[in-house]
Amino acid sequence: MFNKIAIIGVGLIGGSIGLAAKKKKLTSKVIGIGRSELSLKKALKKKAVDEISLDKSKVKDADLVIIATPVGKIVPLVKELIPYLKKGTIITDVGSTKKEIMDDIHKFLPQGINFIGAHPLAGSEKNGVIFANKDLFEKSICFLIPYNNQNATKPFKKLKSFWEKLGANTIIISAEEHDFLMAGISHLPHIIAVALVNSMSGVKWRKKDITEFAGQGWKDTTRISGGLPEVWFDILSSNRSNLLIFMEKFNKELERIRKSLEESDFQKLKRTLKQAANKQRPKTKDFKI
């Protein structure tokens, strides 16, 4: 499908793409490019890539270049790579925000080079290529984000086929729709988890942090707060306008619960709890108070 794939940033996602592409025989060679020789050697040992380099010019023969770095690094990387890319090369990313990135890239992208946005929904709070998995994308969703009428082009169709061969179900979506959706279902939950962890910081019981006594509910709710701060800083800052909309909506809901407790309005509290339970488990039985 591709003679040579270059992956810049061979961590969990980049490494999993390399493993899956090799497993499915979608390329003859995968080269991993990055800043840390130690990380690249781990990727080579894991067999996520066939070759490694610290030199970005090694993308020169690649048919597909996948940028799997924090979103704040994508635009400058594309600009840096352009002199080395052959005509017809497809560049793509795996970032969690799209509008700012795609608008900025298409201001300087030369004719004959194709940048197509992609976002596989298959990550985790775990970091690094040691957690890469060849089956990570099986039955996952991968958003593909065309620029203008790009979805009718051969490069777009080829990238779509690539992700489907990796096991993903592809959904074509605009950059604006993507960022709005992610703000609600991914970015807001992350900052809620962060706020919850930070709000309990320093709260003690018998000279121990109270979180030491927490059960599975706490662990499930706060797990995602363990994501790399530098990755999430870029995501949240680049999608701030959408995120603020959902934060306001969340704050209103939190205030509604606080007020029902403050005023001992238990019927209102009951309705609030049941509303959420019905969303998660339809036909939740009523209860008396």
70-102 pLDDT, tens per residue? Answer: 999 999 999 999 999 999 999 999 999 999 999
Q: What is the reported pLDDT for 232?
A: 95
Rounded to an integer, what distance in angstroms lies between the CA atom of residue 67 and that of residue 89?
A: 13
CATH code assigned to 177-280 = 1.10.3660.10
Q: Is there a shared CATH topology between the 2-173 domain and the 177-280 domain?
A: no
DSSP result, 97-153: --HHHHHHHTTTPPTT-EEEEEEES---S--SGGG--TTTTTT-EEEEE-STTGGGS
pLDDT tens digit sequence for 216-255: 999 999 999 998 899 999 999 999 999 999 999 999 999 9
Residue 152 has pLDDT above 90, yes or no: no
pLDDT tens digit sequence for 4-31: 999 999 999 999 999 999 999 999 999 9
Rounded to an integer, what distance in angstroms lies between the CA atom of residue 238 and that of residue 241?
A: 8
When pLDDT is cut at 50, 70 and 90, the band that residue 151 belongs to is confident
Domain definitions of the chain by residue range: 2-173, 177-280
Q: What is this structure's pTM?
A: 0.91
Say which CATH architecture domain 2-173 belongs to: 3-Layer(aba) Sandwich (3.40)
